Structure 1
Amino acid sequence: MQSLKLIDGDIQFNENGELIMVEGDEELIQCCTIALGTNTGEWFLNPEMGIDFKSFLGKNVNEEIMRGELARGLLQEDRIESLDDATFEINRTARTMTVSFTATGQNGEIIQREGVSVGAG
């Protein structure tokens, strides 16, 4: 598949003003990142898309619940077969959380992404 290349939600253009496209693993990672950055119910065209940000907020977050919600979000992408690993980095001072994950695609490809912001921040 191909998608428009996004950086921080902004469509990217090359030096000639033409749209930049992504495909392959980069496109799949971008789709996964969008799902994890969307709060369930936020997008009116698909209110089921995304993850429940409440699972990632608060002082006493539960890593098992967060991992389950992360898996639920990633598996919304039909090309993802499984979530293999996830690590959560909480910065209490800045009140932010980032997630790094490894997932397996339906064709056996290994998808890795580090530093995805989830929840508020």
Structure 2
Amino acid sequence: MRTLKVTAGDLVISNGDFAMISDNEELAQSVRMNIEAAKGEWFLDEEYGMDREPFEEKPFNEEAARLALVEAATADERIEAVAEIEMTPDFKTRRLKVRMELTKLNTDETIVLEGVEI
């Protein structure tokens, strides 16, 4: 599948034209966008996005946050499993950086998703 490349919420323009991505880069972007969107945020599909509640609770429930990340990543039917999740909190900015290793469906291929911010 081919789609437009998006960085930090903006379409990327290269050589005067919209940049396109495909294959693993497109899949990683798709999963990233699902994680970064809040569930219910998009009125055309209220199931799109990730449940933010586990990330807003005090005290922080790391297991519930991991479960929400896995659910959002595997919402894309091309992802079979989440092999690894690393979460790095920045308490000063109240942001959480996430790194994930995803296993593609019906393959042993791994996709690394880095720099996702919640």
The corresponding residue for 2:117 is 117
Alignment correspondent of 2:61: 62
The one of the two structures with greater contact order (alpha-carbon pairs below 8 A, sep at least 6) is: 1
Q: Output the CA distance in 2 between the equivalents of 1:57 and 1:90.
A: 13
Aligned length: 117
Structure 2 counterparts to residues 1-121 of structure 1, below 5 A: 1-15=1-15, 17-106=16-105, 107-118=107-118
Give the unaligned 5+ runs of structure 1. Answer: none
TM-score normalised per structure 1: 0.91
TM-score by length of 2: 0.93
Structure 2 residue runs of 5 or longer lacking an equivalent are none
**Larger strand fraction of residues:** 2
Q: Deviations over 1:38-87 (max 9, x none)?
A: 00000111110111112112441111111110011011111100011101
The CA deviation at 1:113 is 1.3
Which 4+ residue blocks in structure 1 deviate beyond 4 angstroms?
A: none
CA distance, structure 2, for counterparts of residue 14 and residue 102 of structure 1? 28
